[in-house]
Amino acid sequence: MKFAIWGFQSDSEIKKHVHEILEKLASEKHELIMLNSFAELLQIDRPDVQLITVEQIPKDTDFVISIGGDGTLLSAAQAVMRTPIPILGINLGSLGFLTSLERDWRTGLDEILKGHYRIEERMVLNCRLEYQDGSEETLWALNDVVIERADIFNLLALEVRVGEEFLNKYLADGLILSTPTGSTAYALSAGGPIIDPSLDAILVTPISPHTLSVRPVVLTGEKNIYIKLSNPVGQAHLHIDGKNTRKIDGRLRIRIRPSSYRIQLVVTPDNTFYEKLRNKLHWGQRSSQKD
């Protein structure tokens, strides 16, 4: 099998785990490729590891192994967005909602190498930026598309339409449009609901809305969502999965809909979404701290 080792952070713990993973896969005669910038960070120079750039992931790669946290996996997702290569996330970060294995990854990786795993397909957002001159730019998000104010002293005024129907004019610090996968990310911190990732839906969550009655809305994935700044000279920042930032203004229209692409996540059989919610959010656990 062919494995691509992916990451962009370096510390002694990550270096230790990466060396151990490489040794294990090499000892079982698997083909190894690695992001060149990651190898340089970790000072890895092995003749049995082929170094590649972000754009050079071979289409016949069996798995991308993302080593880090959710941010690392999101960057891997961007790299394989148009190629159906499954991603196996090993969490060496803090929360790790998207990753399948934790720091004690060894047993889980053994089971995956034996074929004991399943693939979860996750919905992706297609975000098309429609410029006034008629040009367009398309971006893709596994987690969310976030529009935030550029001026810290003024609220954003955002007009949102679902298809041709007007939904609302949001006065807020910003707006989060997330997939069900992204409902446990920024949208959750902003008060949005948690959505089962098997659903095709788009969550619209205002960031600190001016009116308390304005609440998050879960929309069907069957219609296009159009967003425009109400003020033609207004400015905002647009973020795709926390990266790919663009400065936008009121002359631009944003169209968001589910993409035809799907991200494939490698999951161990006993690692369900509901179990992850209980473990990561400590549901049902009482604090042992005494008053």
Q: What pLDDT does 200 receive?
A: 94
Q: What pLDDT does 190 receive?
A: 96
Query: CATH 2.60.200.30 region(s) of the chain?
Result: 124-260
CA distance 121 to 198: 8
Q: pLDDT of 61-91, one tens digit each?
A: 999 999 999 999 999 999 999 888 999 999 9
The CATH number of domain 2-117+268-280, selected from 3.30.365.10, 3.40.50.10330, 3.30.300.30, 2.60.120.260: 3.40.50.10330
CA distance 62 to 52: 15
The CATH number of domain 124-260, selected from 2.60.200.30, 3.20.20.120, 3.40.1000.10, 3.40.50.300: 2.60.200.30
Secondary-structure breakdown of the chain: helix, strand, coil percentages, each rounded to the nearest 5: 20, 40, 40
Q: What pLDDT does 232 receive?
A: 78
CB 160 within 8 A of CB 240: no
Backbone angles phi, psi at 281, to 5 degrees: -100, 5
Catalytic positions are 70
Query: CATH 3.40.50.10330 region(s) of the chain?
Result: 2-117+268-280
Instruction: Calculate the alpha carbon distances from 50 to 53, 84, 213 in Å.
Output: 10, 21, 55
pTM of the model: 0.93
Q: Which residues of the chain have pLDDT under 70?
A: 287-291
Residue holding tokens 């890895």? 44
Q: What pLDDT does 154 receive?
A: 86
The conformational region for residue 47 under phi > 0 = left, psi -120 to 50 = alpha, else beta, is alpha
Q: Which residues contact 238 (CB under 8 A, 6 or more apart)?
A: 129, 145, 146, 147, 245, 246, 247, 248, 254
Could you tell me which of 168, 167, 179, 171 has the C-alpha nearest to residue 203? Answer: 179
Q: What pLDDT does 289 receive?
A: 56
